[in-house]
Amino acid sequence: MLINGIDKAQTIQPSVTRKAENFNKESPIIKKTEGDVFEKNTKNNILKDMNIWGFEPQKKGIISEEEILSHAKLFLSKFNNDLYGMLKPLGINTEQEIELSVQAGSGKIIVKNDHPDKEKIEKIFENHPEFGNEYRKITSMFEIYESGKEALEFQKAYEKNQEEAVARYYYLFHTNLSADITFTSEGAEVDFTRTDKKSGSYVSDYQKASYYISSK
Containing 163, the helix (H) or strand (E) segment is helix 162-168
HSE (side-chain half, CA atoms, 13 Å) at 57: 20
Q: What is the DSSP letter of 3?
A: B
Higher pLDDT, 11 or 212: 212
13-27, 85-99, 100-114, 181-195: segment of lowest average pLDDT: 13-27
**Alpha-carbon span 110 to 91, nearest angstrom:** 19
Mean pLDDT, rounded, for 165-176: 89
Which residues are CB-contacts of 89 (< 8 A; sequence separation ≥ 6)?
none
List pLDDT tens digits, range 122-151.
Answer: 999 999 999 999 999 999 999 999 988 889
* Angle at alpha carbon of residue 127, lines to 123 and 130, rounded to 5°: 120
pTM: 0.75
Mean pLDDT, rounded, for 45-71: 69
Strand partners, 82: none
CB count, 10 Å around CB of 176? 14
3-state SS track over 87-101: HHHHCCCCCCCEEEE
Q: Which pLDDT does position 206 carry in this prediction?
A: 67
User: What is the phi/psi pair of residue 183, to 5°?
Assistant: -110, 140
Q: Is the pLDDT of residue 55 over 90?
A: no
Q: Which pLDDT does position 63 carry in this prediction?
A: 77
Q: Is the pLDDT of residue 82 over 80?
A: yes
HSE (side-chain half, CA atoms, 13 Å) at 84: 19
Mean pLDDT, rounded, for 33-42: 38
32-41, 47-56, 85-94: segment of lowest average pLDDT: 32-41
Q: Look over the chain and give the mean of its residue pLDDT values, rounded to a whole number.
A: 77
206-to-80, 133, 165, 174 alpha-carbon distances in Å: 26, 27, 16, 13
Domain ranges of the chain: 9-214
3-state SS track over 38-88: EEECCCCHHHCCHHHHCCCCCECCEEEHHHHHHHHHHHHHHHHHHHHHHHH
**2-6, 43-47, 194-198, 203-207 — which one is most confidently predicted on average?**
194-198
Give the torsion sign (CA, 16, 17, 20, 25). Answer: negative
Q: Is the pLDDT of residue 44 over 50?
A: no
